[in-house]
Amino acid sequence: MSAARPFGFALGANLDSPRDAIAAALERLARRFGPLEVAPLYRSEPVSPIPQPEYLNTVALGHGPQEPEELLAGALAVEAELGRRRDLPLGPRRIDLDLLFVGDLERDAPGLRLPHPRLRERRFVLAPLADLVPDLALPPDGRRVGDLLAALPGGPWVKRLRSEDPCC
């Protein structure tokens, strides 16, 4: 194992009970990787052309010595435990976990790209990430999360949930 470094996961769900699925995934990730700091929940419009329900999204941050491959394998195992099926790309999901970054590491290997290749273009990831770490500089160019969010063009809507908002 290497020195401890920060890492981040994006979580999303839009089938069955998304709030429960995200809570279960967070609990399982914390059991595997230690305490996590969790952003507020967001409701978001699907980016897929496939008709499907709105998503519920958040981001969770941790800190530890795990290698990226271990973090990714753990996330995939949690998805499988919670019934994630991968038969329809961009289709609705019971749970979706993405490894966003591991410190300032860059990887471009089959099945593992760091930072996540679409992190910079997804408002439903950048918005909750900016709630936690707006000044986090991402490789390869060191641009900060808050600046990336502010620079996004219009696109699918994303709305932060308030505690009084009805939800899934």
pLDDT at 115: 97
pLDDT at 98: 97
Task: Give me the architecture of the 5-160 domain, per CATH.
Answer: 2-Layer Sandwich (3.30)
Concerning whether 20 is annotated as a catalytic residue, the answer is no
Does the predicted TM-score (pTM) go above 0.85? yes
Among the listed residues 28, 43, 98, 131, the single catalytic one is 98
pLDDT at 164: 60
pLDDT at 92: 85
Among the listed residues 28, 43, 93, 123, the single catalytic one is 93
CA 67 to chain centre: 18
Query: pLDDT (tens digit, 0 to 9) for every residue of the chain, 168 residues total?
Result: 578 999 999 999 999 899 999 999 999 999 999 999 999 999 999 988 888 999 999 999 999 999 999 999 999 999 999 998 877 677 788 999 999 999 999 999 999 999 999 999 999 999 999 999 999 999 999 999 999 999 999 888 899 998 666 555
pLDDT at 74: 98
Concerning whether 96 is annotated as a catalytic residue, the answer is yes
* Full DSSP string of 2-70: ---EEEEEEEEE-SS-HHHHHHHHHHHHHHHH---EEPPPEEE---SSS--PPEEEEEEEEEES--HHH
Q: Which amino acid is at 153?
A: P
Concerning whether 118 is annotated as a catalytic residue, the answer is no
Concerning whether 131 is annotated as a catalytic residue, the answer is no
Among the listed residues 28, 43, 96, 123, the single catalytic one is 96
Among the listed residues 28, 43, 84, 123, the single catalytic one is 84
